[in-house]
A and B are shown apart, each in its own frame.
Chain A
């Protein structure tokens, strides 16, 4: 069966520090991968998505970046965090094909920038 791992679960970082969040998927090949951010009490904002190794699409201009060095690995990074980067970060995967599919989300990373 397919599983998705996301870490760390909780992170407190000072303003201006770098960030690296990692997500890996097991039990499937060629997944579509996504990073979403959820501010406290708010909806899900699409940040990045990827349809293959090295292929990254950005939805929102900001100081975050994403990379997909391997088929089932998706990384969210920042060189210098801002206070506004605080939130709940969720990685997700979906199957690929001609149809859209529902997402399976990782357990999330709660990031607090202080």
Chain B
């Protein structure tokens, strides 16, 4: 079955700097890659996603890139703000099932 590895597990950046979270997946048939943000004690919320026929997608300060050949995908957050502090999960989906990475705890220091 699908396996998703996520790195780093913890990331600390200064406000205004960029943050990058990287994931790899094992099943080359996976075709949808969502990213979720989970604030402390709350539910995960979808923040951006990318399909396998696209290499890059951007939404304001966040962007995702996908390298299908290497089975890598990444989340980039620019101009980080304290409210970006949360746990971020990458995931890989094939039709019905979504498998999540273990999460990255991002701290943005003011």
Give the interface of A toward B (CB within 8 A). 32, 34, 36, 42-44, 46, 49, 51, 59, 90, 94, 98-108
Contacts and interface: CB of A to CB of B under 8 A. Distances in A.
Q: How large is the interface on B (under 10, 10 to 19, 20 to 34, 35 or more residues)?
A: 20 to 34
Given A43-B89, A49-B96, A102 B49 contact: yes
A46 B98 contact: yes
B89 A44 contact: yes
A43 B31 contact: no
Contacts, number: 54
Interface string B91-106: 0011111111111000
Contact of A100 (B43, B45, B93, B101): B93
B96 A43 contact: no
Interface in B28-55: 31-32, 34, 36, 42-46, 49, 51
